[in-house]
Structure 1
Amino acid sequence: MRDLISLSAFPKSGVTYLGFLMFHCLFGDEAGIGDLEKQYVIDIHAWPALRFAVPGGPRIVKSHFPFGPDRPGVGRTARAVYLIRHPVDVMMSAWDYRRFLNPAETPDDDEGGPADGPAFRRFVHDWLASGGAGFEVAGPWLRHVRSWLDQREIPVHLVTYTDLVDQPGRELAAILRFLDLPVPVERQAVAIARSSMAAMAALEADEVRNRRNGVFYRPELARSYEGGRRFINKGHRGCYATLLTDEERALADRTFGAEMSVYFSGGSGAGAG
């Protein structure tokens, strides 16, 4: 039985934002935001039992798995929304996430952020040379994207991170049409407002301040939070043009060139999300 809607994306591609949009569209004010990924738009990695709070409602899961018949939930997926983000911007968010999870790991010369420290430049080279490897659950970015967009078993609606952030009204409406989920325009506008970067950051700050398990805060992340680091971060854009050296851009072109030319404006990703 195919009864699931999958919000699928490579890690650090913005699927948390997409999950917020769907939650606020479909489950109303009575649903507890802290249970978003546990009972409403279920994170299939953390909550694989898939116990939905609204049995008769849309059964939506968030997944970082590549497509494959043996992947959890794939055999039950009726339709999927695939969110794609420029691989170099994903790389930068992956770097931030690594620092978030392991605050003591990154050398001091990189403490100011993604500057020019040797640890960062090694990370960049490894990411570009490997096709975007760095998340075991997902495999390389290149393989993940191709697994979902080249398959024909499940209908897929493709949306880019840039378009979703820059044109949320247009993209959310298109997603809901694809999924055949009628939501009043007024409710869509509420969902967009409640899912903004500022709104998500405020929720994270509240969870951290109250040390309350929720969408973001976990006790095991306390050290990172105490150091001022956050899950909701910079929303990197255009990193291909602004952060790579000429040599690194050449490597990115060799590795990701086909995908960059197909899915991102101008191929290079300048201005892409």
Structure 2
Amino acid sequence: MRKIIWLASYPKSGNTWMRVLLTNYLRNSATPVDINKLEGGPIASARLWFDEWVGVEAAELDDNVIERLRPGVYRCMAGETHDTLYMKVHDAWGRTDRGEALFPADVTAGVVYIVRNPLDMAMSCAHHWGVDIDTAAESMCDPTFATSRSLGGLSDQLRQSMLSWSGHVQSWLDESGLPVHVVRYEDLLAAPAATFGGVVRFCGLPFDAARVGKAVAFSDFSELQRQEREKGFRERSLRAPGSFFRRGQAGAWREELPPELVNRLIAAHGEMMKRFGYTTHQGGNDNVD
């Protein structure tokens, strides 16, 4: 049995980019990997995999029952694989209604947690969820926020409890008790080889600097956009009005985010933002990316 490395993040923080980087590194091919055929395992909240392992469609179960079953599904997946699973997860870390960890420590090798300035995430989340920017910002501040509830069986994703942005970060870094390697999205942009190289080492993969450089080049944002233009991206939300790979920048909030929403997000998340160098006080002007 091998174990799972969770690639955890709040939505639109760079999780997919990290999976592309890892896939390019693991395959070490002569050409960039297909963004629709990424390595490492299913998305943790995918209904298809849950239904297959449990033998009952999630649409027939309520959310509490689904969450009770999810830890067992991950144990089964780990027990059946001979390779490390790199599983994308947007859920906050938490426990089921019976007190069991949703992401069990006994099958966890570690967590790569990708964090991004929430001011930049607001517009990306609005775009991804197909809502207005005010609604997205309020969701990011809501400690009870959850997505893709299973009621009616209409979603291809299980219910994911997100919490607020700060709550999500805190759940994985301070409450999970799991070994966590934190990656700032902004550092991945500014120094991709050094930052991704740290991920390679944390995952226990053989380190090769030339291979890291090739993975970074093959995962350039322009390449991801090119592939999506030519053949689409199957993980793009049907509610999104445009492409999944939108801008891929740091600091775009200065152009996109109204001042009142800047103040709203900083009021809710200022302390956690300080922890990652995103703001130095309760105001947006001194934000650093």
TM-score normalised per structure 2: 0.70
Partner of 1:114: none
How far apart are 1:183 and its partner, in Å? 3.1
CA distance in 2: counterparts of 1:261 and 1:27, whole angstroms: 37
Partner of 2:116: 85
How far apart are 1:270 and its partner, in Å? 3.4
Whether the aligned pair in 2 keeps the contact of 1:19 and 1:41 (CA below 8 Å) is: no
State the SS of the aligned residue for 2:172.
helix
In structure 1, what residue type is equivalent to 2:230? D
Whether the aligned pair in 2 keeps the contact of 1:91 and 1:127 (CA below 8 Å) is: no
In structure 1, what residue type is equivalent to 2:204? D
CA distance in 2: counterparts of 1:27 and 1:56, whole angstroms: 16
Q: Say whether residues 1:126 and 2:138 are aligned partners.
A: yes
1:159 maps to which of 170, 177, 183: 183
CA distance in 2: counterparts of 1:148 and 1:10, whole angstroms: 11
How far apart are 1:254 and its partner, in Å? 1.8
Partner of 2:126: 95
- Identity within the alignment, %: 25
Partner of 1:147: 171
State the SS of the aligned residue for 1:68.
coil
2:251 maps to which of 209, 234, 238: 238
Partner of 2:269: 256
Partner of 1:14: 14
CA distance in 2: counterparts of 1:271 and 1:255, whole angstroms: 18
In structure 2, what residue type is equivalent to 1:217? R
User: Would you say how many aligned residue pairs link Structure 1 and Structure 2?
Assistant: 240
State the SS of the aligned residue for 2:234.
coil
1:43-74 deviations in Å (ceiling 9; x for gaps): 1222455769x943332111112112446544
CA distance in 1: counterparts of 2:136 and 2:237, whole angstroms: 27
2:287 maps to which of 261, 264, 270: 270
2:83 maps to which of 46, 51, 57: 57
Whether the aligned pair in 2 keeps the contact of 1:133 and 1:140 (CA below 8 Å) is: yes
Q: Which runs of 5+ in 2 are unaligned?
A: 54-73, 149-159
CA distance in 2: counterparts of 1:163 and 1:220, whole angstroms: 26
How far apart are 1:98 and its partner, in Å? 2.6
Q: Which runs of 5+ in 1 are unaligned?
A: 100-105, 107-118, 209-215
Q: Assess, with a 3 A threshold, how the Cα gap between structure 1 residues 219 and 88 changes in structure 2: closer, same or farther.
A: closer
What is the CA RMSD across the aligned residues, in angstroms? 3.3
1:6-65 deviations in Å (ceiling 9; x for gaps): 11101111100000011111133399736634x52431222455769x943332111112
Partner of 2:152: none
1:232-254 deviations in Å (ceiling 9; x for gaps): 11225325544444443332232
State the SS of the aligned residue for 1:42.
coil
How far apart are 1:128 and its partner, in Å? 6.1
Whether the aligned pair in 1 keeps the contact of 2:93 and 2:103 (CA below 8 Å) is: no
Q: Assess, with a 3 A threshold, how the Cα gap between structure 1 residues 193 and 239 changes in structure 2: closer, same or farther.
A: closer
